[in-house]
Amino acid sequence: DQQVKQNSPSLSVQEGRISILNCDYTNSMFDYFLWYKKYPAEGPTFLISISSIKDKNEDGRFTVFLNKSAKHLSLHIVPSQPGDSAVYFCAAKRQWGNFNKFYFGSGTKLNVKP
Partner 1 sequence: EAEVAQSPRYKITEKSQAVAFWCDPISGHATLYWYRQILGQGPELLVQFQDESVVDDSQLPKDRFSAERLKGVDSTLKIQPAELGDSAMYLCASSESIQVGTDTQYFGPGTRLTVL
The site for partner 1 (CB under 8 A) is made up of 4, 6, 9, 31-32, 34, 36, 41-46, 49, 51, 89, 91, 93, 95-102, 104-107
Nearer to partner 1 by Cβ, of 71 and 93: the residue is 93
Nearest distance, CB of residue 1 and partner 1, angstroms: 13
Which strands, in side-by-side order, build the sheet including 72-77?
Answer: 4-5, 19-25, 72-77, 62-67, 56-59
Nearer to partner 1 by Cβ, of 57 and 79: the residue is 57
Q: Which of 70, 55, 63, 76 is nearest to 24 (CA)?
A: 70
